[in-house]
């Protein structure tokens, strides 16, 4: 694009959304080159629409100019989903933040995509309702991002991921057509296109409104913190709880290195820094049902070697326990300037051995690796703290990441539980899918986006890909941190 063409484009986009909502200066574009993953790439332009109609007009201009469009919410994705690896126009949905309706009798809400996750539960609370998917980033991440990533969270164990809570979607296709998918009743005959859009990471279109299921706030919640000398005993307790037939709302493990980081940070929760791991178990449901369940879990934890079990006495103490878990990623910022978060899932019964193997991989590569994870789901989050300014460190991080994924897949797992594939894990899709599977996905995507302009370079590897763990091939060498 020549400078003249660019100026004309900025003028045209400004006429749609207003000049304040078109970002084009290089220093301002920098803000949008990154999410919370490792990849970086600059958009050509950024626009912030306020209505579905504006989104329609924007994508039509992009289609005419043959420019990619990349939807973006809060940019907290952990797999490079909103990073414009092929340039183009980043469409930020954060101005579309209207909570259109909380329909109490039908227990649903209709929201625009820029609504922040926690705001929905806050709005529903006076009606005795909540929105169950609760990513640890829920204070900032948006519903649009949650839908696109099929996000989970600690309470996925009992309530499922975002896909279990989406009844309907309004989606703007890259050619400007507007689809109304699903229905407020939860029943929609024909192909499940809501299911196809949820988790499609912005590659099928732009979500401009979502109809979401709300659930009643449970009558009672109990939160228990079991302290262990080692992480393997904590993992065994998780297996024992599930085997016993109980279904807690959440079961989360924080390992020793993470505890140390949290306790040195503003998220400090008074966890014992000499513990090998803590297991956080939350139960919810009818008040009468919880005490026996709590005792059962306490006994199972003791059987597996818990050094101590604490039960939150009130809401403040519960919030304190959760602060350690939900603040864990933030606390990692104390350890190093960069963080690489993995997200593989393994069968729960294999957690102890896989975790040991993952830690050994980190040690072998001389990396600082810690674990905080959705143990009940078998959803691991090995976190590697590093500094990309140190020569060779990023290469070691990527090599270790590839080995971790291979280990999890070999144990019967998959490469992502909730953070999506994005650009970061795109080239590892072949670990879990055959060429025919990937081709079926390509054709599904083409049904929504035949020209491949909607968030290109994400999820699906290019055929004959061969750049696994090669930073040069992935362009990391072009993005020095300093």
Q: Is 292 exposed, middle or buried (0-12, 13-18, 19+ CB in 10 A)?
A: exposed
411, 427 Cβ separation under 8 angstroms = no
Helix (H, G, I), strand (E, B) or coil at 177: coil
Q: Is 112 in the site for ligand FAD (CB under 6 A)?
A: no
Q: Name the minimum Å distance from CB 374 to ligand FAD.
A: 7
* CB closer to ligand FAD, 151 vs 233: 151
Q: Is 362 in the site for ligand FAD (CB under 6 A)?
A: no
Q: Name the minimum Å distance from CB 5 to ligand FAD.
A: 25
Which region holds residue 88: left if phi is over 0, alpha if psi is between -120 and 50, else beta? left
Q: Which of 52, 82, 223, 293 binds ligand FAD (CB under 6 A)?
A: 82
Q: Name the minimum Å distance from CB 45 to ligand FAD.
A: 16
Nearest to 235 by CA among 358, 362, 355, 341: 355
Tokens 């924007």 belong to 58
357, 406 Cβ separation under 8 angstroms = no
Q: Which token pair is 264?
A: 């040195």
Q: Is 239 in the site for ligand FAD (CB under 6 A)?
A: no
* CB closer to ligand FAD, 112 vs 468: 112
Q: Name the minimum Å distance from CB 279 to ligand FAD.
A: 17
Q: Which of 54, 76, 256, 416 binds ligand FAD (CB under 6 A)?
A: 76
Q: Which of 56, 78, 277, 344 binds ligand FAD (CB under 6 A)?
A: 78
Q: Is 81 in the site for ligand FAD (CB under 6 A)?
A: yes
CA–CA distance, 384 with 395 (Å, rounded to integer) = 12
Q: Is 382 in the site for ligand FAD (CB under 6 A)?
A: no
User: Which secondary structure element, helix H or strand E, spans residue 205, and what is its range?
Assistant: none
Distance from the Cα of residue 65 to its chain's centroid: 31
Tokens 């991002």 belong to 145
* CB closer to ligand FAD, 279 vs 301: 279
411-450 residues in contact with ligand FAD (CB under 6 A) are 418-419
Q: Which of 49, 153, 182, 248 binds ligand FAD (CB under 6 A)?
A: 153
The backbone torsions φ and ψ at residue 72, rounded to the nearest 5 degrees and listed phi first, read -145, 135
Q: Which of 71, 88, 248, 376 binds ligand FAD (CB under 6 A)?
A: 71
Tokens 């350690």 belong to 324
Bridge partners of 111, per DSSP, are 99, 210
Q: Is 84 in the site for ligand FAD (CB under 6 A)?
A: no
Q: Name the minimum Å distance from CB 370 to ligand FAD.
A: 14
Count of positions on this chain that bind ligand FAD (CB under 6 A):
36
* CB closer to ligand FAD, 200 vs 233: 200
Q: Is 455 in the site for ligand FAD (CB under 6 A)?
A: yes
Contact residues for 189 (Cβ-Cβ < 8 A; gap 6+): none
Cα separations (Å) of 460 from 90, 310, 421? 20, 45, 8
Count of C-beta atoms within a 10 Å radius of residue 194: 21
Tell me the window of 65-73, 187-195, 295-303, 353-361 that interacts with ligand FAD (CB under 6 A): 65-73
Nearest to 215 by CA among 318, 132, 106, 151: 132
Residue nearest ligand FAD by beta-carbon distance: 145
Bridge partners of 400, per DSSP, are none
* CB closer to ligand FAD, 267 vs 476: 267
Count of C-beta atoms within a 10 Å radius of residue 131: 27
Tokens 């590892």 belong to 428
340, 371 Cβ separation under 8 angstroms = no
Helix (H, G, I), strand (E, B) or coil at 172: strand
173-212 residues in contact with ligand FAD (CB under 6 A) are 201-202, 206-207
Nearest to 422 by CA among 201, 162, 206: 201
Instruction: Mark residues 20-59: x for contact with ligand FAD by CB under 6 A, - for none.
Output: ---------------xx-----------------------
Q: Which of 52, 121, 137, 371 binds ligand FAD (CB under 6 A)?
A: 137
CA–CA distance, 298 with 246 (Å, rounded to integer) = 12
Q: Which of 119, 149, 255, 449 binds ligand FAD (CB under 6 A)?
A: 149
Q: Is 329 in the site for ligand FAD (CB under 6 A)?
A: yes
Looking at residue 20, what DSSP letter applies? G
Q: Is 456 in the site for ligand FAD (CB under 6 A)?
A: no
Q: Name the minimum Å distance from CB 459 to ligand FAD.
A: 9
* CB closer to ligand FAD, 55 vs 405: 55
Q: Which of 57, 72, 158, 396 binds ligand FAD (CB under 6 A)?
A: 72
The site for ligand FAD (CB under 6 A) is made up of 35-36, 70-78, 81-82, 93, 113, 135-137, 141-142, 144-146, 148-149, 151-153, 201-202, 206-207, 329, 418-419, 455
């Amino acid at each position: 694009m020549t400078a003249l063409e660019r100026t004309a484009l900025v003028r045209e986009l400004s006429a749609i959304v207003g000049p304040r909502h078109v970002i084009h200066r290089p220093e301002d574009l920098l803000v949008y080159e990154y999410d919370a993953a490792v990849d970086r790439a600059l958009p050509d332009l950024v626009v912030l629409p306020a209505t579905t109609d504006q989104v329609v007009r924007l994508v039509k201009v992009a289609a005419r100019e043959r420019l990619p469009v990349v939807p973006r919410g809060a940019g907290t994705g952990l797999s490079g989903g909103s990073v414009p690896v092929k340039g183009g126009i980043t469409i930020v949905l954060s101005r579309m933040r209207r909570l259109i309706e909380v329909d109490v009798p039908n227990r649903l809400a209709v929201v625009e995509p820029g609504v922040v996750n926690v705001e929905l539960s806050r709005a529903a609370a006076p009606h005795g309702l909540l929105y169950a998917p609760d990513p640890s980033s829920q204070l900032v991440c948006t519903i649009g991002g949650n839908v696109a990533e099929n996000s989970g969270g600690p309470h996925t164990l009992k309530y499922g991921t975002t896909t279990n809570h989406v009844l309907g979607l309004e989606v703007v296709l890259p050619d400007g057509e507007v689809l109304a998918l699903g229905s407020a009743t939860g029943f929609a005959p024909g192909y499940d296109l809501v299911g196809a859009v949820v988790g499609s990471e912005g590659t099928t279109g732009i979500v401009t409104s979502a109809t979401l299921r709300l659930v009643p706030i449970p009558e009672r919640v109990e939160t228990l913190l079991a302290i262990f000398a080692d992480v393997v005993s904590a993992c065994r307790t998780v297996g024992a709880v599930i085997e016993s037939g109980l279904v807690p709302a959440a079961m989360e493990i924080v390992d020793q290195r993470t505890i140390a980081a949290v306790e040195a940070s503003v998220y400090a929760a008074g966890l014992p820094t000499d513990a090998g791991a803590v297991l956080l178990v939350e139960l919810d449901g009818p008040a009468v049902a919880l005490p026996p369940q709590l005792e059962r879990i306490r006994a199972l934890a003791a059987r597996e070697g818990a050094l101590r079990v604490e039960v939150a006495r009130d809401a403040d103490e519960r919030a304190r326990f959760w602060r350690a878990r939900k603040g864990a990623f933030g606390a990692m910022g104390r350890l190093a300037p960069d963080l690489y978060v993995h997200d593989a899932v393994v069968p729960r019964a294999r957690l102890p051995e896989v975790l040991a193997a993952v830690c050994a991989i980190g040690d072998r590569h001389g990396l600082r690796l810690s674990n905080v994870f959705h143990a009940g789901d078998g959803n691991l989050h090995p976190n590697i703290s590093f500094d990309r300014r140190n020569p060779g460190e990023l290469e070691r991080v990527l090599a270790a990441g590839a080995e971790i994924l291979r280990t999890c897949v070999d144990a019967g797992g998959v490469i992502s539980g909730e953070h999506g594939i994005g650009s970061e894990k795109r080239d590892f899709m072949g670990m879990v899918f055959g060429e025919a599977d990937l081709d079926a996905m390509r054709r599904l995507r083409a049904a929504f986006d035949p020209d491949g302009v909607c968030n290109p370079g994400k999820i699906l590897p290019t055929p004959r890909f061969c750049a696994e763990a090669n930073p040069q091939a992935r362009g990391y060498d072009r993005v020095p941190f300093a």
